[in-house]
Structure formats: C-alpha cells, structure tokens
A and B are shown apart, each in its own frame.
Chain A
C-alpha cells in the first residue's frame, strides 16, 4: 500500500498492524521502541514503514520501556508528535514515567496491548496492566477490534493535542484476541487523515524564542493547584472526546459512540458493562437472549478515564440490575470497572442491583455461554433472587 492513496483501502490486518497503519497516518516525528509480546508487531511494522520510507520519523531503539516513555517525553518536550507502545510488564516498568508525562502535560499517544502481569507469568490477555495505571492521569480508551484501534489512534492525537487538554492518551487492545487476530480494516487515505489531524504545533514545548522552564518541581504551597488543573483538564476532555468522535464519524463514516456505547438498552431490564473485545461477543449473546424474549442490553464502556460517572448515574433509573465483566481484579476488594460503576450509581435513594463478574484473566476465553450465564444471574437478581456481588466466571472449581 502506498501512502499516496486518495481514498480508503480495505486491508486484512491484525490489530497490531492496524495500529501501525494508524500511527503511520498520524505522521509522528518520533517513535520510541521497546518490544514486548503481544505488541511487537506494532513496532516491527512501523520499523518496516520507516525502512521503506513510508514514514518519516526518528525511530529510537531504547533499552527499556521506562526509557521508551522518557524518550517520548523528551521528544514531546521539543514539540515532536511522539508515539510508543507497550504491554503488561513494560507498562509496569514505565509507571513512574506515565506520571511524569501526564503531570508535565505532554500529549503523547501510546498503544497498550492488554496482557496480564506476572507472577505467575503469562503472556495472554486481560486488563490488569492498564487498570493498574488508572490513577496516572492518562486518558484510557478500550477498543474492540482492529478498525476501532486504527481509528482511535487518529482520534487520540486530536484529543491529546486539543487546546486545553494536553493529556496523554492510552489506546488499549486486548492481547492476542485483538492484537493477533486478522480482520477487515478500512485504512483511510493520508490526505483524509491530514485534513482531520493537522501537523502538531505544540503549546507546551521548548522554544528558543520564548524561553520557559518545564517539568518544574511544585512545592506544597502550589502542588495541589496543578493537580486540580490536571483533573479539570481530564474532566473537560469528556466533551472533547464526544465531539472528536462525531467529527470522525462525519468524515470517515465511523462514529464509535463516544465515551459509552449502548446496545439494546432502551427497554432493557438488565445490562452488562464491558470493556474491549468481549463487547462484541456480548452483543451476540444479547441478540440470542432477546430472541428468547429476555430484555437484556449491553453497555460498552469505551473510555475508563475520564470516567463517565454521569452516564451511570442516569443509567441506574432505567434498569433493574447492572453487571460488569472485569478482566482485572483488585485483590482484597473487587474489579476496577465494577467498583467504579457501582460507586457512580450509588446514592441514598437506592441503586440497581449489581454483580461484578471476574472473567477472562490471563487469556481465559470468555465464551458466549459464560456471558449468557452472567446475564441469567443478573436476571435472577432482578427478580429478587440472591446472587453474590462478586463472582468468578469460568473457573475450574465451583466453590
């Protein structure tokens, strides 16, 4: 595929390749690279693009993920549009740099391949890695397929670089299930993407003509004001997320639903909240259960940070029971998404009944039968039967 196409081209790509194509279209100036399964194909594909002169950027090999983020930050600091990608152990390794980047307000975009964290070591997919980074001040979006991955890389730069936002964005794909699965992807033309995403002119970069200090320390007397500022920017981004997605939909024909995308929730008695690829599988289960006359619906949570609390506050009056599929677990309590959905719906006037389902850890498949079982438990609950609030699904042993 050449970069001079005027129209979108249909390609059969895996999720990692789709991300690489998306990155190429965004014309980053710097890509810093450290490989880790199942992200490696992203950075390998980008290296091919660079070698074949289809991308014009600095491709920096670093010795660790911590340095990958540090290099991206250094690049952003001089006004470059920067990209990196990682997963699991690598994401954990760059943890402190995630705070550095967001606190310094650099609009970096990073793809994360959701993979479990050791120990026990395992390369397969769950969302424990990114959920553990939820307080780092990064905007987090979860995609369900290669097309959405490509589209969100493009939208992520618009969002990150938006005036008044200047927050880094993490685009999450499910490891293997998204990253290594080939699907039909429509790759937009360079011309269309250039129109949607102009070149980056940073408002937060070193400039010899206007010398400033950057990444300063902030004393106890000033620090909290910066944190409030960061929080307010993240809160402001909620509207920006929606408007960028709408604009993307108008231009490329694909509006992905903004922060939250409902499926058959209008008259639903019970709904399930999902993040990532399981959303698609769940829609099939909704359809098959609806055929049996069961009023179930799906809430695909796309953005975890900022968290759409207002949506869930409003949802609670519409349904009798809410379930969450958490591909993560905060040991000693419950799943991260479940925890936040539940608390958003809480008020003194009562909340819908709720179950947090822990499923799909370390690549354990979430089958359609499993999802149907979860919906049936929600239906039981909505009819007054007892159901435990935290349940593990798909385990070897029941007890």
Chain B
C-alpha cells in the first residue's frame, strides 16, 4: 500500500489534490484508494493535511497515516512551522513547491527531495497561485504511482468544467518537467 501526505494551507486545495489522486488511482485504474483530510478546524491560511492511500486490494486500514511513502508540500513556508519529513519512510520522496534547488534543503539522505516551481506554472497557466493540480502532475512523474492519463481523467471527472483544461495543462507541464529531471 502506498501512502501520500499532502501539506498545504487552508484554501490552497491540498485536500482536493489528495482526493483527485485517489479518484485517479481507483475509478480510472484497477486500484483501491482512500482520501481524507486532517480532521480538525480549518481556516484560510492555517496548515492542513491531506492523505491518499492507494493499494491493489481493498483498503481495510481506517487508522490515521503515520508513515508515508511520499510527502507533497504545496506551500514551502509551511516548512517553518511544520515538520514535513515526519513519518517519511527511508527511500521515500519529498516533493516541494519551491524556486530553490533540492540540495538547498539540508534534510539528510534517507529520502529523495524533488523540487518544482509550481507557483510559477500555476500563475502562468491558472493565473492564480493554486498549485494543487500542478503538484499532482509532479507526483505522478516522480513516483509513478498513478498514470498521467488517469490524473487527467480525474480532473475531468472531479473538477468544474471551466477549470478542467487549464488544470490539465498545468499538470502536463509539471509532469514533463519532472520526467525530464529524472
């Protein structure tokens, strides 16, 4: 079973990404998935978490996610207030939306750090700094846990019509960028 933790601030769509990833992996592929937010009061700007589980058999685990294979950080200022690497397994991947290079985050060698300036992509394509779908594309490329076609299908199924084309575009730019890096 794969477990992904998403870090965002309330209002940035962190949970939407967790949910769309789950939708992509389950309805559009032959897997089972679970997606849930951190259960607690939320307000714009406060740190929130999203979780996605993906498995090829039905997911029985209904406890919280403690150890994860991938961590996605939509807002790097969160790293000043939250320990985003907590629970990230050895050999896992930490994806950060940032201008900085992976080496500048001195977080040790137990896991891989992948960076992408998703805010830049989002501002260009979506005209807003909402990086959730962009980072989903990055995660798909970096991890291979879900096919990019499924991500695009999930956006079609899970987002309002007026948002679909530009979000899919942002996803593909991110996907190609990370695949190029690999």
Binding site for B on A (CB under 8 A): 10-12, 14, 124, 144-145, 174, 176-178, 180-184, 277-278, 280-281, 283-284, 363, 365-368
B34 with A182: CB separation less than 8 A: yes
A366 to B63, CA, bound (A): 6
The answer to whether B61 and A281 have CB atoms under 8 Å apart is: yes
Stretch at the interface among B4-12, B22-30, B141-149, B159-167: B22-30
Across the A-B interface, give the 7 residue pairs with the lowest CB-CB distance, nearest first. Answer: A280-B60, A277-B62, A181-B36, A12-B23, A184-B26, A182-B35, A176-B39
- Residue in contact with A11 in the complex, picked from B19, B27, B35, CB distance below 8 Å: B27
Residues of the B chain whose Cβ atoms lie less than 8 Å from the Cβ of A280: 59-62
Q: Interface residues of A: mostly helix, strand, loop or mixed?
A: mixed
Q: Is there contact, CB below 8 Å, between A180 and B33? A: no
A23 to B77, CA, bound (A): 44
Decide if B33 touches A367 in the complex (CB within 8 Å).
no
A176 neighbours in B (Cβ, 8 Å):
36, 39
A252 to chain B, nearest CB (A): 16
Q: How far is the CB of A175 from chain B (nearest CB, A)?
A: 9
* Residues of B participating in the A interface, judged by any CB pair closer than 8 Å: 19, 22-23, 26-27, 32-37, 39, 59-64, 66, 158
Question: Which of B35, B59, B62, B158 counts the most chain A CB atoms within 10 A?
Answer: B62
A178 and B19 form a contact (CB under 8 A): no
- Given contacts A11-B27, A281-B60, A281-B62, 13 further A-B pairs with CB under 8 A are A12-B22, A12-B27, A14-B36, A174-B62, A176-B36, A181-B62, A182-B19, A182-B34, A183-B26, A280-B61, A281-B63, A366-B63, A367-B63
| Pair A12/B26 contact, Cβ less than 8 Å | yes
Chain B residues whose CB sits within 8 angstroms of the CB of A12 once the complex forms: 19, 22-23, 26-27, 33, 35, 158
A174, B27: Cα distance in complex, Å? 24
Report the Cα distance A368→B1, complex, angstroms: 15
CB-CB under 8 A from A366, the residues of chain B are 63
Residues from chain B with Cβ under 8 Å of A145 in the complex: 62
